[in-house]
């Protein structure tokens, strides 16, 4: 079955999270993704738990479906090889600090001159323009300056991290959206008009701030940290159970709240005039949350969930990764894939999002070793084995044994 991006070639120039995550998503739907790595490899290969002598599990997921070529990008020969790749590519996806690629003769203008139909998707801390364009910016900086950390946590505690690389991941999604829009536009223009997709990590986070801009400008309201309470709708919080677990409940419409009071057998709350609409419930949120918590503490998590599900109240347990893997809904939706791998045996990794009915995504292989496809890619570019061996000997390229187990 053909894939939506079959025939599209993506050159990934970047490391860590945002750029590689974006190209991973493109690769899952058929794009031929060539990951250009330094001779030492993407540093994500060293981040987090890993099997003895192997790259991190995170990096093996992040590089799945990709081919890896390892080059000395600071050498003229390495830069020339990248330029050859660009000439044959549809997309270059990079997340270097603005100006870095220009030092290697790979500015946006240089790349467009090589391939006018090229889509160049650039992810950076602050974008390609503006007074901060040359400043370094990682996801934690973007989450801070983009506004999400200011409102995350409890009011009497410092701002906290979400717990995942949320800034990089959101930026990666915008990079994918921009890339797909640009490919659509290019193809509608007979494949001749490439363009630049400029994604700033800070702006990606900023775009998620709901109504906070007009709330401040027009109502002089600054949203503050409120812990797990929803600031605009109630009740919506997490509540303790008798077995030491937590349940999230979202009964924040009038009809849902009425059903919740029925499940709780609390007719007094249903008749309370202050709780008849959302505005009133928000004003009484502390009292309301206390009453709900008093009720949930009487039951185990399973008992609470059974009552809430019977009442059609949106609710769910707070899951650890262990809980997720045991959940039948995730299992039924193929959200755990097991792939053979020469290094690890069978490796379990997350499934694909979104689900497409006619052209679904696919994971063909676990992420390869750094440089596993160097010789294959150089051969496709027309270079002889003799030339490839010379580059290997001189340290221009790195080549490892091709570890790529196809499922």
Residues with a catalytic annotation lie at 168
| Distance, CA of 297 to CA of 377 (rounded, Å) | 60
Tokens of 165: 């690389």
Q: For residue 128, what are its two tokens?
A: 């390609």
For the record, the structure tokens of 316 come out as 């769910």
Using an 8 Å Cβ cutoff, are 285 and 257 in contact? no
> The tokens of 217 are what?
């400008």
Residue in this structure with the two tokens 């490919």, named with its chain if needed: 183
What is the DSSP code (8-state) at residue 70? E
Other CB atoms closer than 10 Å to residue 245's CB: what's the count? Answer: 17
What is the rounded distance in angstroms from the CA atom of residue 23 to the CA atom of residue 66? Answer: 9
Q: What is the DSSP string of 187-229?
A: HHTTT----EEEEEHHHHHHTT-TTHHHHHHHH-------TTS
How many residues make up the chain in this entry? Answer: 407
Coil, strand or helix: which one is 265?
coil
Mapping DSSP to helix (H, G, I), strand (E, B) and coil, where does residue 132 land? coil
DSSP annotation of 56: B
Provide the 10 A C-beta neighbour count for residue 65: 24
On whether the CB atoms of residues 397 and 388 are closer than 8 A, the answer is: yes
Q: For residue 179, what are the contacts with CB-CB under 8 A and spacing of at least 6?
A: 22, 26, 91, 93, 119, 121, 197
Both tokens assigned to 96: 């270097």
Q: Give the chain's radius of gyration (CA, Å).
A: 25
Rounded-to-integer distance, Cα 215 and Cα 210, Å: 10
For residue 78, report the phi and psi dihedrals to the nearest 5 degrees.
-65, -40
Peptide bond into 354 cis (omega under 30): yes
């Amino acid at each position: 079955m053909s894939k939506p991006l079959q025939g599209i070639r993506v050159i990934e120039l970047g490391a860590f999270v945002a750029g590689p995550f974006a190209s991973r998503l493109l690769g899952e739907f058929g794009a031929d993704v060539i990951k250009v790595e330094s001779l030492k490899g993407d540093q994500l290969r060293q981040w987090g738990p890993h099997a003895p002598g192997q790259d991190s599990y995170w990096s093996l997921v992040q590089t799945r479906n990709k081919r890896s070529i390892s080059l000395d990008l600071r050498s003229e020969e390495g830069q020339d090889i990248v330029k050859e790749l660009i000439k044959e590519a549809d997309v270059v996806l990079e997340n270097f600090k603005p100006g870095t690629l220009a030092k290697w003769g790979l500015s946006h203008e240089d790349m467009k001159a090589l391939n006018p139909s090229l889509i160049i998707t650039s992810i950076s801390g602050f974008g390609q323009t503006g007074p901060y364009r040359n400043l370094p910016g990682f996801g934690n900086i973007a989450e801070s300056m983009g506004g999400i950390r200011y409102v995350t946590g409890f009011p009497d505690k410092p701002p906290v991290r979400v717990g995942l690389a949320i800034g990089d991941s959101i930026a990666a999604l915008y990079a994918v959206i921009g890339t797909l829009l640009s490919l659509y536009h290019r193809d509608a223009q007979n494949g001749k008009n490439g363009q630049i997709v400029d994604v700033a990590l800070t702006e990606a986070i900023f775009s998620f701030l709901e109504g906070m801009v007009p709330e401040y400008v027009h109502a002089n309201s600054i949203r503050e940290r409120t812990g797990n309470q929803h600031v605009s709708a109630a009740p919506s919080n997490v509540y303790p159970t008798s077995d030491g677990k937590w349940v999230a409940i979202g009964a924040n419409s009038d009809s849902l709240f009425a059903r919740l009071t029925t499940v709780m057998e609390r007719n007094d709350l249903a008749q309370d005039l202050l709780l008849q609409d959302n505005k009133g419930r928000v004003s009484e949120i502390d009292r309301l949350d206390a009453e709900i918590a008093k009720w949930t503490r009487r039951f185990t998590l399973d008992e609470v969930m059974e009552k809430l599900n019977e009442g059609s109240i949106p609710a769910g347990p707070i899951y650890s990764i262990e809980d997720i893997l045991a959940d039948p809904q995730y299992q039924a939706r193929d959200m755990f894939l097991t792939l053979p791998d020469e290094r690890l045996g069978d490796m379990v990794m997350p499934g694909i999002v979104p689900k497409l009915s006619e052209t679904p995504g696919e994971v063909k292989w676990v992420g390869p070793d750094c440089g596993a496809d160097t010789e294959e890619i150089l051969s496709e570019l027309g270079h002889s084995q003799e030339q490839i061996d010379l580059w290997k000997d001189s340290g221009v390229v790195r080549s490892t044994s091709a570890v790529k187990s196809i499922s």
